[in-house]
Structure 1
Amino acid sequence: TTTVTFHFSESVTGFASDDIVLTDANGTLGALNSTDGGRTWSAVFTPTPNVNDSSNTISVNLAGVTNAAGRAGVGHSRSANYSVDTRDTSAPTATITLADTALTAGETTTVSIRFNEPVTGFDASDVVLTDANGTLGALTPNAERTLWTATFTPT
């Protein structure tokens, strides 16, 4: 999130969230606050998730804003362009460990696959055993879905 500040040339009344145009904003604004009698206003901006856009703006419809003399503003005022990139571009990584690394005939061991973040859709088809000389039993995740274990049986 970030704070958006609206600065008027003089104190205004009637400024409300429905005067703010967020059509090209890729986000939402929280409650408006002024601490200086209505000349400067601020609100917390929360960007829309999973967006990558460098041409965002926030506008104010000045017709809903009046000065001390009761005159309404005219037209719109628009912010400079800003970018929003809320995509999750980090891919999960995994570390694979075996409880026993020197197996003999008839032994099995537990294989642990620990991910750096929770994962979904992980199953036996994702495990490559080409050079493993063995088979892997059913994968079982922990509650957080960050640690998956299975029994490895050597050939």
Structure 2
Amino acid sequence: MLTDANGTLSNPTTPDNGKTWIATFTPTANVEDNSNTIGVNLAGVTNAAGTAGTGSASSANYSIDTKRPFPTNLTIEDPKLCAGESTTVTLTFSEALNRDSLTLARLGFTREVPVNPGTLS
């Protein structure tokens, strides 16, 4: 296995006696980076005749996004309301969310009160 700050690459295996090699990359949690590459030092490998390769080969850049989105700001336009009034609540996240993932069912009131404190839309 090969591990760096952004993930772990499993030991390579070959399904066809050495021409094709396969390894599994598992990204590290809480990483957001789009400048990743995987490379091989060809001087460290040999063919069936024992001839060593030269140079290196690298993949194209690939992205990792295992960071969880989190709220960075929550503001209430008017924090003191009376019956019949309404206000705007603005919630800002650390990154764009999938439009279908934040629904009214995910929002709620954080303290228990004996009566319904209002409605969210």
Greater C-alpha Rg: 1
AA aligned opposite 1:75:
G
Give TM-score scaled by structure 1 length: 0.45
Structure 1 residue runs of 4 or more that deviate by more than 2 Å after TM superposition? 93-102
What stretches of structure 2 of length at least 5 have no aligned partner?
Answer: 72-105
Say which structure, 1 or 2, has more relative contact order (CA 8 Å, 6+ apart).
1
2:90 counterpart of 1:76: no
Name the structure with the higher strand share: 1
What stretches of structure 1 of length at least 5 have no aligned partner?
Answer: 1-16, 103-130, 132-155
Partner residue in 2 for 1:95: 108
User: Distance in 1 between the 2:58 and 2:18 partners?
Assistant: 19
User: Distance in 2 between the 1:63 and 1:41 partners?
Assistant: 16
Give TM-score scaled by structure 2 length: 0.56
- How much is the aligned-residue C-alpha RMSD, in angstroms? 3.2
Which string of whole-angstrom CA distances, capped at 9 and with x for unpartnered residues, describes residues 77-96 of structure 1?
111111111110155x5533
User: Distance in 1 between the 2:112 and 2:50 partners?
Assistant: 76
Which string of whole-angstrom CA distances, capped at 9 and with x for unpartnered residues, describes residues 63-116 of structure 1?
11111221001011111111111110155x5533858528xxxxxxxxxxxxxx
2:37 counterpart of 1:57: yes
> What are the within-5 Å matches in structure 2 for residues 10-89 of structure 1?
26-89=6-69
